[in-house]
Structure 1
């Protein structure tokens, strides 16, 4: 079996078994839309604010809002760089590209009012976590937190655990939520337990916690040994990526080749289109090198300015999947 075919099967099989807190619940303060992170601040969600320099806590209703800033680990807790746009009386919004974040993509953040007051979520809010700045706890103690995954009815990863009908609670924990033992509570179904998440392309490890007992996913054959001499299940989330070569309409044969298929010279024969050639494949998150082979001649992508040397004297086009 060819390696790329195995990867595609791996994607299909691993796209199985999982469920956490209610699908109607969303993380407060942000959402992910395509390749963007959209931060949303609603003044009605907050009752307290903390003055940064004095640490004094005041009622939110006593604060006249002049501006709102997103401040977090991703911008070194700046109180003035990521300014939000007011969209109505109570709501402010800021849209940032996912490329503005590192691959780990697990960041703590807060909303800063008038460049000096930290909006404080409720301590009982399940979407909050203790926050630190330069190794020290930030005044106000709590920060909103975002992960690489969140519950969504239209998510791209459906986890299902069959059986365990007598269990009182099943939790999904993994590298996508820093192995949080309470955050993703799975929903009970007629066949077992289920949860659908929206996840960015990447390879993740995960386990189920059934009434406090950790276990691997019995429905997923892909796993890796962990530090406890047990196994974590593995899921590889891929994204369908279209490669297009414009022009060359007189060519008889064009092949897509790259690091994703071990530079196979015949496997991915591109489809002829009005504008040129096209091929769509599912790719894991990360960097991929590629080229086109036009009637036997290897070329880089003329419409992609991002290129890299491969260390063997070749220059390849680069595709980033995030």
Structure 2
């Protein structure tokens, strides 16, 4: 595989500092101080009617509205209605303060206020549903609003230089609902350090030095907060593999998308066994649009059913990093 052009390589190396190895959790992601619920019709095979437990296939279901229902809103079928993003995708953004003091919640999506989307038993974040201790024959999705845990092999390293005389330094951010005690940093040579394993998403954070809140002086990315001060900002991503089958005779395949300003030559894919073209690269959390350029001809990803219009008459394949 030819090397990626310099400015793309530099950006990917910088991003790799924040790469996540954590497993993706279906149905939600974190963005700053918000939990973003995401429902895509193609993610589910089973839907059950609320009263009759009638099972229907997703292709037979016309979606008029989607609601997030869970322990955090007493399983209401009406309160947390989602906004339509495209023909199959709905989202709802809720502030982390809407989840009170608990960190773990069970939830589901309900369509047209009567059909419950059933997650697969192979999804990573599921729990067998129960009523008064008796298990039901269905699953709920699990959400952990505390998106980080201390881990010596964690994907994000927080470092603060200096402050040798400080007695206690804490990392606090939207990944732990700004808890002031959870994540105590350790004294190391020339400063302080703590490694966390953080789920993919966008987060804000600050350091608490002996009770005094400061931004991260080594991180230029920051956002203004409600106190007219700054919160430091990170986007924790993960490695993604793009692949293309059936073009064994192609001479050159380029991956292009919103992540590299649709450059037509930067990211060249590699031909591997059986004519498969493949490329693995780090991407930040969020929605990404892309296409393949096969010997100069642009095309959608034939193996990805998710696509959107871009407002300029073009259709692009869509990939979510969550």
Give the TM-score of the pair, scaled to structure 1: 0.61
Change (3 A) 1:114 1:278: closer
Question: Where does residue 49 of structure 1 map in the other structure?
Answer: none
Deviations 1:150-170 (A, max 9, x none): 222222101111222221211
Question: Where does residue 310 of structure 2 map in the other structure?
Answer: 310
**Contact 1:205–1:234 (8 Å) recurs in 2:** yes
**Contact 2:172–2:178 (8 Å) recurs in 1:** yes
Question: Where does residue 319 of structure 2 map in the other structure?
Answer: 319
- Compute the displacement of 1:190 (Å): 3.8
Question: Where does residue 35 of structure 1 map in the other structure?
Answer: 24
Q: Does 1:115 align with 2:131?
A: yes
How many Å separate the matches in 1 of 2:196 and 2:90? 22
Question: Where does residue 279 of structure 1 map in the other structure?
Answer: 279
Change (3 A) 1:35 1:292: same
- Compute the displacement of 1:230 (Å): 2.6
Q: Does 1:216 align with 2:215?
A: yes
Question: Where does residue 291 of structure 2 map in the other structure?
Answer: 291
Other structure's SS at 2:205 match: strand
How many Å separate the matches in 2 of 1:315 and 1:113? 39
Change (3 A) 1:227 1:152: same
The aligned runs of 1:230-249 (5 Å cut-off) are 230-249=229-248
The answer for unaligned runs of 5 or more in structure 2 is: 27-69, 78-88, 107-127, 134-142
Change (3 A) 1:74 1:295: farther
Give the total of aligned pairs. 228
Deviations 1:2-45 (A, max 9, x none): 87456325425668xxxxxxxxxxxxxxxx961248xxxxxxxx
Q: Does 1:149 align with 2:165?
A: no
How many Å separate the matches in 2 of 1:150 and 1:259? 31
Change (3 A) 1:289 1:206: same
When Rg is computed on C-alpha atoms for both structures, the one with the higher figure is 1
Other structure's SS at 1:260 match: helix
Change (3 A) 1:101 1:75: farther
Question: Where does residue 251 of structure 1 map in the other structure?
Answer: 250
Other structure's SS at 2:208 match: strand
Deviations 1:63-102 (A, max 9, x none): xxxxxxxx62288389xxxxxxxxxxxxxxxxxxxx9997
Computed over aligned residues only, the root mean square deviation of the Cα atoms, in angstroms, reads 3.5
Change (3 A) 1:35 1:282: same
- Compute the displacement of 1:176 (Å): 1.7
How many Å separate the matches in 2 of 1:157 and 1:304? 30
The aligned runs of 1:143-182 (5 Å cut-off) are 146-182=145-181
**Contact 2:16–2:282 (8 Å) recurs in 1:** no
How many Å separate the matches in 2 of 1:14 and 1:240? 11
Change (3 A) 1:110 1:249: closer
1:7 aligns with one of 7, 11, 15: 11
- Compute the displacement of 1:103 (Å): 7.1
Change (3 A) 1:13 1:244: closer
**Contact 2:256–2:264 (8 Å) recurs in 1:** yes
Question: Where does residue 133 of structure 1 map in the other structure?
Answer: none
How many Å separate the matches in 1 of 2:169 and 2:306? 45
- Compute the displacement of 1:208 (Å): 0.2
How many Å separate the matches in 2 of 1:237 and 1:110? 22
